[in-house]
Amino acid sequence: MIRIRLRSFVSPASLALLAAVVTVSTASAQSSIGMQGFGYPVGGGSVRTNGTGGAFAEFDALTPTNPAALGGLTRTVITAQAEPELRKLTGNGVSEKSTLQRIPLIMLIFPARRGVAVGLSATTFLDRTFSTATTGSARIDGISIPTSDRTDVRGAINDLRAGAGWQISPRFRVGVAGHLYTGENRATRERAFADTLKLGSVIDSSRVTYFGTALSVGGEATLGKGFTALASYRRGNEINARIRDTIVSKASAPTRTGAALRYDGIVGSVFAVGIEQISWSRMASLGSATIAPTDAMNWHAGAEVAGPKFRGLPVLVRAGYARNELPFGTPGQTARENRLSAGLGLPVAGEDATLDLSVQRASRTMSGSGFKESAWLLGIGIQIRPRN
Other CB atoms within a 10 A radius of the CB of residue 24 amount to: 21
Read off the pLDDT of residues 51-71 as tens digits, 9 standing for 90 and up.
999 999 999 999 999 999 999
Q: Are 145 and 138 in contact (CB under 8 A)?
A: yes
DSSP code at position 19: H
Distance of alpha carbon 178 from alpha carbon 213, whole angstroms: 8
Read off the pLDDT of residues 250-282 as tens digits, 9 standing for 90 and up.
999 999 999 999 999 999 999 999 999 999 999
**What type of residue sits at position 147?**
T
Least reliable range by pLDDT among 25-34, 271-280, 323-332: 25-34
Distance of alpha carbon 293 from alpha carbon 278, whole angstroms: 11
Which of 168, 267, 276, 273 has the alpha carbon at shortest distance from 216? 276
| pLDDT at 93 exceeding the cut of 60 | yes
Whole-number pLDDT of residue 195: 73
Q: What are phi and psi of 104, to 5 degrees?
A: -85, -5
Partners of 275 in the beta sheet?
259, 299
Taking residues 73-96, report their average pLDDT: 89
Whole-number pLDDT of residue 137: 81
Whole-number pLDDT of residue 27: 42
Other CB atoms within a 10 A radius of the CB of residue 12 amount to: 7
Whole-number pLDDT of residue 31: 56
Work out the pLDDT band at 48, boundaries 50, 70, 90.
Answer: very high
Partners of 314 in the beta sheet?
309
| pLDDT at 32 exceeding the cut of 80 | no
Average pLDDT of the chain is 87
Taking residues 185-194, report their average pLDDT: 85
In what helix (H) or strand (E) does residue 44 lie, and over which residues does it extend?
none
Distance of alpha carbon 357 from alpha carbon 319, whole angstroms: 11
Kindly tell me the burial class for residue 175, based on how many C-beta atoms sit within 10 Å of its own C-beta (0-12, 13-18, 19 or more): buried
| R_g over Cα of the chain | 23
Distance of alpha carbon 80 from alpha carbon 241, whole angstroms: 29
DSSP code at position 6: B
Q: Higher confidence at residue 89 or residue 24?
A: 89
173: left (phi over 0), alpha (psi -120 to 50) or beta: beta
Taking residues 306-319, report their average pLDDT: 92
Kindly tell me the burial class for residue 302, based on how many C-beta atoms sit within 10 Å of its own C-beta (0-12, 13-18, 19 or more): buried
- Helix or strand or coil: residue 236? strand
- Helix or strand or coil: residue 201? coil
Distance of alpha carbon 304 from alpha carbon 61, whole angstroms: 15
Q: Are 256 and 281 in contact (CB under 8 A)?
A: no
Q: What percent of the chain has pLDDT over 90?
A: 60
Q: What are phi and psi of 196, to 5 degrees?
A: -75, -15
Work out the pLDDT band at 26, boundaries 50, 70, 90.
Answer: very low
pTM: 0.86
Q: What is 266-319 written as a DSSP string?
A: STTEEEEEEEEEE-GGGGGGGS-TT-EE--EEEEEEEEEEEEEEETTEEEEEEE
- Helix or strand or coil: residue 13? helix
Q: What percent of the chain has pLDDT over 70?
A: 90
Distance of alpha carbon 235 from alpha carbon 66, whole angstroms: 13
Whole-number pLDDT of residue 354: 95
Q: Are 89 and 28 in contact (CB under 8 A)?
A: yes
Residues making up the chain, counted from first to last: 388
Whole-number pLDDT of residue 241: 92
Q: Which residues contact 177 (CB under 8 A, 6 or more apart)?
A: 64, 67, 119, 161, 162, 163, 164, 215, 216, 217
DSSP code at position 33: S
Read off the pLDDT of residues 134-160 as tens digits, 9 standing for 90 and up.
788 887 777 788 888 888 888 899 999
Whole-number pLDDT of residue 34: 75
Domains located in the chain, CATH noted: 12-384 (2.40.160.60)
